[in-house]
Structure 1
Amino acid sequence: MVVGDFPIDLDTVVVGAGPGGYVAAIRAAQLGQKVAIIEREWIGGVCLNVGCIPSKALISAGHHYQEALDSSVFGVTTENVKLDFTKTQEWKDNKVVKTLTNGVEYLLKKNKVEIIRGNAFFNDGETLRVFTADAAQTYTFKNAIIATGSRPIEIKGFKFGGRVIDSTGGLNLTEVPKKLVIVGGGVIGTELGGAYANLGAEVTILEGSPQILPTFEKDMVKFVEKSFQEKGVTVVTKAMAKEAVDNGDSVTVKYEANGKEESIEADYVMVTVGRRPNTDDLGLEVVGVEMTDRGLVKVDNQGRTNVKHIFAIGDIVPGAALAHKASYEAKIAAEAISGHPSAVDYRAMPGVAFTDPELATIGLTAAEAKDKGLDVKASKFPLSGNGRALSLNQTEGFVRLVTTKEGNVLVGAQVAGVNASEVIAELGLAIEAGMNAEDIALTIHGHPSLSETIMDAAELALGMPIHI
């Protein structure tokens, strides 16, 4: 290995080029900082390469396949529908993932961010070393933003390899499995389970909690459960996964449910039980950066660690592991380094599941609001009363507003249904702006549109509904 003899000076260095890191680097550069970004694997990180983006591509492909198989309700009939999964994967990798990751690299270069490839290790609070396969170079820095993301958790009895795969392996299968077992019914497991069910796989989901998607309210999840039943997806809740036995051409999954030992054979078992922060092998303990027992970095409301010029964002800090949370925190940290009084405010942080139908939540649920001592009411408008939902033949779901009884101020909202991931954005803006139900009801919405359900729910909150 060749070792650099002289340190190279850096101003602000960002470690990790995912949706937290690359956004931090670009915003810091826009604010006049001289920035370098260090990435050991993928520009764009897990999200763009083997996470958020490719999973949504497979979900989209599954929807198109199902529509091609049966659109008879619209008077459209088709014959001899075939799925070429090789082409599906080529489209995902080359037209979607590569387009976005190349775009991110272009944006970094456009903003004059230096890209350094390799593994970063902090020597102390002012220097770090970057290792490649055949060389190592030492750098000094004035400020650092750590955005190294997370990786899938491997559980006992399910060592990754062969037919035991993580979400990355699930996204990169070369064929649609005839049978797929998913251990973990959270957002990742249910999204990919639904995608592969739409693509023709027989899917079984094993979830340890009493319901799949445990971070969403039960009346929202029931729509996904119903959809799974219609697709033939088997959901086993309160299940404890015990062991996976790789048989070479299949895998046997052993689990316990309702006090009984069970087993199921499949082509693959995908484990999606959570993610672990990538804070090991960085040298943070050498620098004295404080961390939690779970390996998360302790930060203040600007992302600053106890080492004042070192910041941390995204999956490696407390809170939900969400790409948009990482990007939000990235801007705050970059602005803090530049002397701006920016600080995080998570009150309108959306959570989305790209299931069938989609689920989205933002702000407080009614129960959470009451726990905080707020006197609130919940107003729920069904999609079945919306013209656009009817024209799409997707009327399952609702929009619910959580508003204070005094003043009708919006403090939270939940959306279950078609395009919930898009509809939730207006509600986030309303919460950020401190709007009340009257503000929303008086906002003119285009007709026919799904967003009209927000206006209808606001009118319901005011006690003057038109369409219900």
Structure 2
Amino acid sequence: MKEISCRLLVIGAGPGGYVCAIRAGQLGVDTVIVEMAKPGGTCLNVGCIPSKALIRAADEFALAAAMAAGTGHIGISVAEPKIDLARTVAWKDGIVGRLTSGVAGLLKKAGVKIVLGRAAFRDGKTVEVETETGQQLIRAENVVIATGSVSAELPALPLGGNVISSTEALALAKVPGKLAVVGGGYIGLELGTAFAKMGAKVTIVEAMERILPQYDAELTRPVARRLGDLGITVLTSAKAKGLAAKGDALVVERADGKDERIASDKVLVTVGRLPVTEGWGREELVLDMDGRSIRIDEQCRTSMRGIYAIGDVTGEPMLAHRAMAQGEMVAEIVAGHRRAWDKRCIPAVCFTDPEIVSVGLSPEAARAAGKQVKVGQFPLSANGRAMTLGGEAGFVRVVARADNHLVLGIQAVGTAVSELAAAFALAIEMGARLEDIAGTIHAHPTQGEGFQEAAFKALGLALHV
């Protein structure tokens, strides 16, 4: 058996793992990273990036279809469009391939040794990797567990055949005629909306009382209206019970207790994700757990000396950018730098139609924390750029302390508002006050002006509304 030693071993080359390894390599730390599939993890290969590619294709097709039907409103006419989903998927795969190759190149540039295979702990300092060429033993001074997460399954709807997860949905060769989506969270709504725009008849089944329950109702209202405009049926307070006997329909228990059959060519299950805490030898370690997640402190240290954990395996929020920030921090700690997790906020973005951005506290959350707040909200129907994008159904909202005007939270819903996430997060991270935002010149015409206008509104100085 081949043996190698290193100062840092990273298990998992998803966003958190590969960023950790790259930064460690840049800092001169002898680093090895183990990945059982392709660099980039779920996010790059079968999650964030490919889903956004599919959403972009769906948006373009829907726009062309509207123009062909004469319902487009910008004066352009086209012949009847068609979509070849296999070619769309091939285009998506090309983007993914370029990015995975790029990650591998960055790792090599940083001097990181890449080992392809399945890793399993022998003890807290030793990991055995099963590779195509045999067993590889790696001894490390420090280990980072970055094994990510997998799609949660429902006992009543085991994956297989016509029951698929987001992974299979992103690789379909043709648009299903009828698609039932179980789960009204961001994954289900993003993919359900995309397939509806490509021509599928979509039904969304959500067990909670409303869709996107992690966001406040005011933010999700424009999304719910748009789902109706697209002809998507939404069943809330409904429970998926399983497939019909013939496998051609999903059986749902409605809020009134009665069963309903939803004809379905495919059933997409999007009921969340679970940390990957099995299959890599956790039983050989003594790790404190927080439910199904690995418990960590403010430096991502686990209960065992020299073992860190980052990303989805440590629980919510399961966001790639959180994992990246954790990975960078841990690499610097291993290199001897003084670091700790002191982030004021982690942006959350939902790529629905319209998009949702939430950073920091909502008005309800701030008040629940006992804070007196000022809230400024600016409608995008009064923003020139939003009008040109056809995205007037939305708003930008700023939440600040009533006494000193310190910004506590910023939210927006509208077309392409995801691009405002960086400005929102920076404002909170830098400790901005309403006066700072209102006093900053925002370029015209942009949707970013809505940010400034919301601050003006909170100060009682609204200009354009």
Aligned to 1:80: 80
Q: Distance in 1 between matches of 2:43 and 2:390?
A: 31
Taking structure 2 as the reference length, what is the TM-score of the superposition? 0.97
1:341 aligns with 2:335: no
Structure 1 stretches of at least 4 aligned residues deviating more than 6 Å after TM superposition: none
Q: Indicate the percent of aligned positions where both proteins have the same amino acid.
A: 44
Q: How does 1:312-331 map to 2 (within 5 A)?
A: 312-331=309-328
Q: Distance in 2 between matches of 1:467 and 1:377?
A: 19
Q: How does 1:43-442 map to 2 (within 5 A)?
A: 43-71=39-67, 72-94=72-94, 96-133=95-132, 135-245=134-244, 247=246, 251-257=248-254, 258-294=256-292, 296-442=293-439
Q: Distance in 2 between matches of 1:303 and 1:458?
A: 35
Q: Distance in 1 between matches of 2:55 and 2:89?
A: 12
Query: What per-residue deviation string (whole Å, max 9, x for no partner) do you get for residues 440-463 of structure 1?
Result: 111111110110001111111111
The secondary structure found in structure 1 opposite 2:15 is: coil
Deviation at 1:246, TM superposition (A): 7.2
Which amino acid is the alignment partner of residue 41 of structure 1?
A
Query: What per-residue deviation string (whole Å, max 9, x for no partner) do you get for residues 58-101 of structure 1?
Result: 0000110011112431111111211121211110111x111111
Q: Distance in 1 between matches of 2:305 and 2:377?
A: 46
Cα 1:213–1:346, aligned 2, differ >3 Å: closer, same or farther? farther
Aligned to 2:7: 11
Kindly indicate whether the alpha-carbon contact (under 8 Å) linking 1:164 and 1:246 is maintained by their aligned counterparts in 2: no
Taking structure 1 as the reference length, what is the TM-score of the superposition? 0.96
Q: Distance in 2 between matches of 1:31 and 1:457?
A: 42
Q: Distance in 1 between matches of 2:388 and 2:216?
A: 27
Q: Distance in 2 between matches of 1:467 and 1:454?
A: 12
Kindly indicate whether the alpha-carbon contact (under 8 Å) linking 1:360 and 1:416 is maintained by their aligned counterparts in 2: yes
Q: Distance in 2 between matches of 1:9 and 1:246?
A: 55
Give the CA RMSD over aligned residues.
1.2
Deviation at 1:388, TM superposition (A): 0.6
Q: Distance in 2 between matches of 1:275 and 1:375?
A: 35
Query: What per-residue deviation string (whole Å, max 9, x for no partner) do you get for residues 327-365 of structure 1?
Result: 111111111112222112343201111000000101011
Q: Distance in 1 between matches of 2:229 and 2:195?
A: 14
The secondary structure found in structure 2 opposite 1:189 is: helix
Q: Distance in 1 between matches of 2:136 and 2:109?
A: 25
Deviation at 1:279, TM superposition (A): 1.1
Kindly indicate whether the alpha-carbon contact (under 8 Å) linking 1:70 and 1:78 is maintained by their aligned counterparts in 2: no
Aligned to 1:451: 448
Kindly indicate whether the alpha-carbon contact (under 8 Å) linking 1:122 and 1:282 is maintained by their aligned counterparts in 2: yes
Aligned to 1:31: 27
Kindly indicate whether the alpha-carbon contact (under 8 Å) linking 1:162 and 1:246 is maintained by their aligned counterparts in 2: no
The secondary structure found in structure 1 opposite 2:63 is: helix
Query: What per-residue deviation string (whole Å, max 9, x for no partner) do you get for residues 224-280 of structure 1?
Result: 111110110000001111112474xx6321110121111112110010101111111
Kindly indicate whether the alpha-carbon contact (under 8 Å) linking 1:163 and 1:246 is maintained by their aligned counterparts in 2: no
Kindly indicate whether the alpha-carbon contact (under 8 Å) linking 2:376 and 2:456 is maintained by their aligned counterparts in 1: no
Q: Distance in 1 between matches of 2:333 and 2:365?
A: 31
The secondary structure found in structure 2 opposite 1:7 is: strand
Which amino acid is the alignment partner of residue 36 of structure 1?
V
Cα 1:244–1:46, aligned 2, differ >3 Å: closer, same or farther? same
Q: Distance in 2 between matches of 1:146 and 1:436?
A: 38
The secondary structure found in structure 2 opposite 1:141 is: strand
Kindly indicate whether the alpha-carbon contact (under 8 Å) linking 2:84 and 2:174 is maintained by their aligned counterparts in 1: no
Q: Distance in 1 between matches of 2:360 and 2:87?
A: 40
The secondary structure found in structure 2 opposite 1:73 is: coil
Deviation at 1:133, TM superposition (A): 5.0
Q: Distance in 2 between matches of 1:406 and 1:352?
A: 29
Kindly indicate whether the alpha-carbon contact (under 8 Å) linking 2:400 and 2:434 is maintained by their aligned counterparts in 1: yes
Aligned pairs, number: 460
Q: Distance in 2 between matches of 1:284 and 1:47?
A: 23
Which amino acid is the alignment partner of residue 181 of structure 2?
I
Q: Distance in 2 between matches of 1:216 and 1:118?
A: 39
Kindly indicate whether the alpha-carbon contact (under 8 Å) linking 2:85 and 2:172 is maintained by their aligned counterparts in 1: no
Q: Distance in 1 between matches of 2:173 and 2:137?
A: 41
Which amino acid is the alignment partner of residue 49 of structure 1?
N
Which amino acid is the alignment partner of residue 422 of structure 2?
A
Deviation at 1:134, TM superposition (A): 5.8
The secondary structure found in structure 2 opposite 1:263 is: strand
